Structure 1
């Protein structure tokens, strides 16, 4: 069997130490090439990119070659501005290394090349270069904004350009990093070509932190499209608040961390305006809202124009939990609203003070339709985990052309 020079040197050292006995150091002297400081390998290798000069094209391959008869390359590490290592492949003979993943655009690379000569002495050469900026970028806006949220809050990523190709979607998804609490399983779901949502399998654990960032800056998404930088977000998850509204019993139950804190008599949507069944996530709170029927297409004898206080929004189309002093006599007995959940002013004030964006509000036993999964707030929890995972480009992938999120922010119904 033919050994490489380095292997022959190591075998020779082993044999000599064995013959001299324990404590012998014949191979540790200055004549041992493995103990020498690395020499400058600049004359030993060639580099196909113009290092330290004008920016190089990130779409072109990066190749490092050992000159014939000069030894071999033993290792190459290429790291960009953001600490990302460029994947590459070294031939078995050690005569050539090339990148196996595209370089990032608009970044600085530091490339360290380790070599050895014919005697096995180590060499080292560091190269540096910039890649040219991307001509077209994909910006990612992460949501929600940094702050405190309930256990049901999904994470959103809105893309500046549509991404339809499944391979490109996989690149995007790999670059969207969610640092979850230990043991939490979660997945992204492609709602459509420009919207990706993330949720855990179960609600977020209470009193934990979730950090979200994009690692796509400079990364090649597809031909002539590279990722842009984006602002990271951090979610501080509060108590596990779960609200259940039983439309048939005309009652709302407020639980915090599994304990029933309050039970409130309510009224929900009357026939023809029934409140949607299903899990909804609190979208925000408004102390005062002017609610008008014509903003949601309600007129004639059903028209209303009311000042409403302590309003907690759960859908974009105008479903709130709010104070309804005009229906106190019906609260706890019958459903008389146009879709919202109404309660007394005192109860609404308490609810308003104790509910947080991202908390879970579930409606059961209504004769209304089911809450949409997308497009009218956050209905993600109404999709089972199996189907949610199938919306990931890293698993089975998604179908192109899903219905887009309705970005309209409609006025409320009462």
Structure 2
């Protein structure tokens, strides 16, 4: 028979799964029961995009991309949460609130520990970083019990970050007072983080489309200004794909121009708000990098972009390098929908280009009778 704690915990997990938040969870050194609790309640796929347990030192080094100063520390938990947040952005459905969770612990072990038994939890959402450290009373619990209480605490932290109310309280003793730290961001701070590469993109889900599709149909450009041609093109591309989530993508960082200033980004984003269309602001000007950010997406491009994509000149005159990079795009599940376009005064379509055989199925033509991309290159 379930105890009150079990039923409260289950109710909290059900509430988490009913919320729109999608999460990536990175754990090390404890809270393992939390994953079981999350996964065993129906609806887990609504919430959990990915969970990784970095138990060995090498696993942690690979995740962080460096040797941590201290594995069980609030700094490491925060770094894990930020990595998880960026990963969640890439894996989530467009427009869903995303959450990155980092947990690292130093709990009771077979060999008695000299230091404190403690754990650190960090959560990152679009507008909030929250970190908490709990020092446990040594000798009060077994390893399994310490894992249990840290798991309870983690579930509560996920609920709080998902804005899920709940009366469930972890079984901490009176002396085990969490040391919490919170930092909130406004939109300007978030865009600063984007420009500096701390976060990989920001979604403005202005579209009223609430369909459950994961595949994005993306039209990238500078949108200075946005006009009807862009809107029509994305609409046609979405119909050619047989559906998907249409969104525009504005790179704040340009390959050959200075990055956009925050007021410029805001002005361009407002255009999409007016027409009720979702726009993603990223910091990647190159399509092979966009493919990593938006795996499985269909990108809408003009024939002039194809000319650059399949020309070794843009890869240091190295055909092999070009092929390797574009095969990398293909391996992410990305495709390119190509519209006819004037290139150096001549109207070109996909069929005019010599696409390497290995890449041909990655490119799909937009029939000329459906759309001609007679839009200047500065506008798309």
State the TM-score, normalized to the length of structure 2.
Answer: 0.23
Name the structure with the higher strand share: 1
Higher-Rg structure is 1
State the TM-score, normalized to the length of structure 1.
Answer: 0.22
